[in-house]
Amino acid sequence: MGTWSSDTLKSATLRLHKAGVENPGYDTTKLFESCLGKRIYSLNKEEIDTIPGKIWSSFENLIKLREQRMPIAKIVNEKEFWGRSFHVNTEVLDPRPDTEVLIEEALSEEFGQFLDLGVGSGCLLVTLLAEKPAAYGVGSDISPSCIRVAGINIERFGLKDRCKLVTSDWFSEINCNFDLIISNPPYISKDEYETLQPEIRYFEPKIALTLEDDGLESYRKIASEVSKYLNHNGRLIIEIGFGKYHQVKRIFERTDLSLENEIPDLCGITRALVFRKV
């Protein structure tokens, strides 16, 4: 047996545990499989012990990153959303499973032209375009890096002809109307941000999470203009932060949109609100 063996996997798990990683065994397996290019369960102990040293060295590099609490998706530059794998890096928020409830709601009705406000990685824009082949989408973001990454994902899924990306401070560069506006805006307050786990604070872009405010400023900005950009009968589907339901509802009461639906996430907590322009 050489320097590397199945024991290396055990010690990697222990190192991640010591570093405070929540699921060290799962993460060790994921990182090892990403170096190996196949699932680990297909190998027995002897086969693991004969894996070439260069694979173990790459694995060691990835474990070091995870020890620093870099999220797996940022290490392997891929994150699953609605059954598709998206390119991600530290400039975009990793798509979250809870955000999939916005997709489910959006797909429950027909729409033509739509806007993804704060496009990030492009996970909402790409998914809606892929699931609704007759739709046309605009994706906007204040961050040029997000526009770049969203562009990579649009190319990946061959959707370039049915969308446009715009660098824009909310609606500043938007000049048409939509059947649907979908948005997962930054909604973490300045105080909440300080309490987030290292994976988020050090490796997710701050601008995707917080405006360093009370966690409601995005909603105020969006609410002040959104109606102008919705067609008659158009919908706004917007993600909300934990515990912000009443405050966000109150902000939108000042618009001419009517609250139509409250969407729970996988834990039963209201995760998105649906408004309609009547």
Ligand X SMILES: C[S@@+](CC[C@H](N)C(=O)[O-])C[C@H]1O[C@@H](n2cnc3c(N)ncnc32)[C@H](O)[C@@H]1O
The CA–CA distances, whole Å, from 199 to 67, 145, 195, 203 equal 10, 20, 12, 6
The CA–CA distances, whole Å, from 148 to 72, 135, 145, 258 equal 21, 22, 5, 34
Nearer to ligand X, 71 or 95 (CB): 95
Q: Is 55 in the site for ligand X (CB under 6 A)?
A: no
Q: Is 210 in the site for ligand X (CB under 6 A)?
A: no
Q: Is 204 in the site for ligand X (CB under 6 A)?
A: no
Q: Is 120 in the site for ligand X (CB under 6 A)?
A: yes
Beta bridge partners of 239: 272
Which tokens is 4 given?
């590397």
| Residue of 8, 99, 127, 270 interacting with ligand X (CB under 6 A) | 99
Least gap, CB of 239 to ligand X (angstroms): 7
| Residue of 24, 71, 137, 185 interacting with ligand X (CB under 6 A) | 185
Q: Is 73 in the site for ligand X (CB under 6 A)?
A: no
Candidates 2-10, 11-19, 121-129, 251-259; binding stretch for ligand X (CB under 6 A) = 121-129
| Residue of 27, 100, 105, 141 interacting with ligand X (CB under 6 A) | 141
| Residue of 100, 101, 105, 118 interacting with ligand X (CB under 6 A) | 118
The CA–CA distances, whole Å, from 149 to 19, 87, 130 equal 30, 7, 17
| Residue of 35, 63, 72, 93 interacting with ligand X (CB under 6 A) | 93
